[in-house]
Amino acid sequence: MENKAPSMLMPALIAGGSFGFVSGLPLSNCACCLWAAGAGFLAAFLYSKNCKSSGAQFDTGKGGVVGLLAGTVFGIVGAVVNSVFSLLTGGLDIDSMREAINANPMISDPQAAEQAIQIFESVGPMFFILIFALIWIVFGVLFAALGGLIGGTAFKVEATPTDTGGGWSSNPPPMSTSGDEPPPPPTAPGV
């Protein structure tokens, strides 16, 4: 009989929350996908330790699931932290947005740049915060699941059998249900 698997919630909350907070900070959010993969990997590591102590099995598939959960937490926490910093520092101000678009050497069409600014003015900064949060969550889930799959492969744990109290550690030998004697052993031909 296999031991009951521990909850994936705590490893996902710890890994996703801590990496999500760090990735939401202004200077570290440029490596968002790397932070997300790290969250999934850490969640897989923490969950494998829980599985090892409880005797439950941990494999690549469970690593992907715990990474997916950690990615969800990562995306939500990272998006909230980044949005708060953007609102506090004025990162979503129309004038600073105009300066950033005009300073970008990749934008060669000033008419397209002006259209982007007009769209931003018409829908407001909260719309962009929500779109950005959704993108952050989607990429967080994808990359954290990948990190969890890698962690599931790296930290694989085999299940340990449990003692049922009958003296046998796994499957007991089959018992005869009838009261008859067992059949005699086979004899060699020609005897």
CA diameter of the chain: 105
171 domain residue, yes or no? no
Predicted pLDDT of residue 171: 57
Domain of 35, in residue numbers: 9-154
116 domain residue, yes or no? yes
Predicted pLDDT of residue 180: 66
What CA–CA distance (Å, rounded) separates 184 from 7? 52
96 domain residue, yes or no? yes
2 domain residue, yes or no? no
Residue-by-residue pLDDT tens, the chain, 191 positions: 567 889 999 999 999 999 999 998 887 767 888 999 999 999 999 999 999 999 999 999 999 999 999 999 999 999 999 888 877 876 666 777 777 777 777 777 878 778 877 887 787 777 878 888 899 899 999 999 999 999 999 999 998 876 555 555 555 556 555 656 777 777 777 66
178 domain residue, yes or no? no
115 domain residue, yes or no? yes
Token digits of residue 162:
């449990």
Which residue stretches of the chain are H helix? 9-24, 32-54, 60-89, 94-103, 110-123, 125-154
Contact 116, 101 (CB under 8 A): yes
When divided into structural domains, the chain yields a total of 1
